[in-house]
Amino acid sequence: MKSVISELSVLVTDDSLTQRQYAKALCQELGVQSLFDAANGVDALDVLGANSVDVVLIDLEMPIMDGVELIRSIAQKKLNSSVIILSAKDPILIASVGTMAEADGLHVLGTFQKPLLPDALECSLLRFIQDTKVAAEPKKSPDTEVTALELSQALANNELTLAFQPKLTVHGLLLRGVEALARWRHPTKGMISPVVFIELAERHGMIDALTHFLLEEAFKYKRTWQQYGLRFHLAFNLSPLSLADSDMVDWLCKMAEKYGIAPAEITFEVTENALLGELASAIRTLARLRLKGFHIAIDDYGTGFANAQQLSRVPATELKIDRSLVHRAAARPQQRTILASTIDLAKNLNLTTVAEGVETAEDFKILHDLGVDLVQGYYFSKPLFADDLLNWVKNDLSQLRRQQEQK
Ligand code: C2E
Ligand code: CA
Ligand code: CA
């Protein structure tokens, strides 16, 4: 594993000789020893085919094959996954190419307007080192093959469970609540991600059964925590399909009563995209939930296409800003601008703002400076099983606060 910048190999792609030399000189100053260069996309693909390259710097405007085409080819040929995107063009264009590259599966270390500054380059290369370490940790694979039959057996066999991820106040790092996240402990395939099985359940008419099971589990945990005197909020994800179910609200109220839970301590999270389909029936369900005292969060905000007007029509109490807007905003000025205006919009609509996917101290600092209310992410804690959550509250949380005070 590469642990220092000097061990990285970098390819600089730019049609201007001066710019290539400049970028290579910056890399050399940072200690990079293995350096390649190419004057256009075609040459860059040749270099990538023949050498092992960690990071590719890509200028967008080049003759023969431009940067956008090069990014596409790199992704298609799975040649290399870490890129830094540069251009003299306007920041919006550069940022949107960055988004495109990520959608193609590339690892975007930074998107910058030229000239490339030494600090920006250093941060991006360090990020490569940091991220390849994180990626080496065992991960749940989203491509795990599972069938609808296995899922229905899993429900019957109690293989589904919940993990909980803390939501903390930016000021003082107080535990405001936890988000319940579904997990499937498969007897032979290991831990399966909800990304795989929620969609499967939605496609095979099992989402109601799954939601019913998980919600009762979540309420049981909340009741236990209350018995220990812990009264933090519980957030629970609702499928867009549940919003179309007219019996859902009554059932949720009944469950809250059964487990002795105050609706004001429950937040239902619904994704921004759930609001794009059957808006009328979604709003009806959400309005009824609000009337009963539950809170509503718009989840994954920034990934879909809901506009400010649609947002203002939803009876929400909270806006969860997606990690794609949050993570690495420090390295992407355009992203930072969108983040700032999203936070302003939420405040104008009287919504509590929650930033998800906070992974680094840099991410946290920006969110703090921009006035976000709550934060959630690996920087504070990964999702934890219930026992570990209690230990985290007892031990790790106060340590986090002390660390923060020292900063
Ligand atoms: P989500 O609601 O956006 O949940 C946050 C996801 O981000 C979780 O993934 C969490 O583990 C992950 N995460 C948290 N902090 C970080 C971070 O700092 N960096 C990164 N890279 N990721 C972070 P998970 O648990 O795999 O859940 C994926 C999605 O599955 C959820 O996204 C949610 O949409 C859905 N889901 C999970 N549980 C349920 C459920 O009970 N019902 C329904 N309908 N959907 C669920
Ligand atoms: Ca969520
Ligand atoms: Ca989310």
* 3-state SS assignment for residue 52: coil
- pLDDT reported for residue 197: 94
Are 269 and 297 within 8 A, CB to CB? yes
Protein residues near ligand 3, an ion, with CB under 5 A: 299-300, 356
Q: At 271, which amino acid appears?
A: T
Q: pLDDT tens for residues 103-144? A: 888 888 888 888 888 888 887 888 888 777 654 433 455 556
Query: Closest Cα to atom 41, ligand 1: which residue?
Result: 182
pLDDT at 139: 44
Which ligand is the nearest neighbour of the Cα of 380? 1
Distance 294 CA to ligand 1 centre (A): 21
Q: Whose Cα sits closest to atom 11 in ligand 1?
A: 383
299 lines ligand 1 (CB under 6 A): yes
- Surrounding ion ligand 2 within 5 Å at CB are 237, 269, 299
pLDDT of residue 136: 44
Percent of the chain with pLDDT over 90: 64
Does the predicted model carry a pTM greater than 0.75? no
Where does 174-316 show beta strands of DSSP type E? 175-186, 190-192, 233-237, 266-271, 295-301
Rounded to the nearest angstrom, the distance between the alpha carbon of 181 and the centre of ligand 3 is: 11
- Low-confidence stretches of the chain (pLDDT beneath 50): 1, 135-139
The residue nearest atom 23 of ligand 1, judged by CA position, is: 357
Please, where are the H alpha helices in 51-184?
A: 67-77, 91-103, 118-135, 148-156
Pocket test for ligand 1, best of 237, 327, 367 (most atoms within 8 A of CB): 237
Residue extent(s) of CATH 3.40.50.2300 domains in the chain: 2-136
193 lines ligand 1 (CB under 6 A): yes
CA of 195 to the centre of ligand 1 (A): 8
Distance (Å) from CA 235 to ligand 2 centroid = 8
Q: Measured from the CA of 194, which atom of ligand 1 is nearest?
A: 30
pLDDT of 53 reads: 93
Q: What's the token pair of residue 19? A: 């710019």
Report the distance separating Cα 51 and Cα 32, nearest Å.
15
SS3 state at 38: strand
Residues of the chain with CATH 3.20.20.450: 148-406
Tokens of 372: 């976000």
Segment (H or E) for 168? strand 160-169
Q: Which of 356, 359, 379, 392 to mutate to test the pocket of ligand 1 (most atoms within 8 A of CB)?
A: 356
How many Cα neighbours within 13 Å face the side chain of 157?
11
Q: In ligand 1, which atom is closest to the CA atom of 202?
A: 44
- Ligand 1 neighbourhood includes 166 CB (under 6 angstroms): no
Asked if 38 and 79 touch (Cβ cutoff 8 Å), the reply is no
Cβ-proximal residues to 208 (8 Å cutoff; 6+ apart), any chain:
241, 242, 245
Q: How far is the CA of 17 from the centre of ligand 1 (A)?
A: 45
- pLDDT, one tens digit per residue, over 7-46 is 899 999 999 999 999 999 999 999 999 999 999 999 999 9
- Which atom of ligand 1 lies closest to the CA of 238? 44
Closest ligand relative to 165 C-alpha: 1
Residue 378 in contact with ligand 1 by CB distance below 6 A: yes
Ligand nearest to the backbone CA of 164: 1
Question: What is the Cα Rg of the chain in Å?
Answer: 23
What residue has token string 């504070």? 380
**Which pLDDT belongs to residue 128?**
86
Residue 236 has a CB neighbour count (10 Å cut-off) of 23
CA of 189 to the centre of ligand 3 (A): 25
Query: Which own/partner pairs from 145-150 qualify as long-range (CB within 8 Å, at least 24 positions apart)?
Result: 146/184, 146/186, 146/189, 146/192, 146/196, 146/197, 146/200, 148/200, 148/203, 148/204, 148/206, 150/186
Q: Which ligand is nearest to the CA of 376?
A: 1
Question: Which ligand ends up closest to the CA of 357?
Answer: 1
Cα(88)–Cα(60) distance, rounded to whole angstroms?
8
61, burial (CB in 10 Å: exposed 0-12, middle 13-18, buried 19+): middle
Count of CA atoms in the C-beta half-sphere (13 A) of 108: 26
Domain 148-406 grouped into CATH 3.20.20.450: yes
Nearest CA to ligand 1 atom 46: 237
Q: Whose CA is nearest to atom 13 of ligand 1?
A: 357
- Which ligand is closest to the CA of 322, given by its number? 3
* CATH number of the structural domain 2-136: 3.40.50.2300
Q: Give strand pairing partners of 110.
A: 84
| Any atom of ligand 1 within 6 Å of the Cβ of 182 | yes
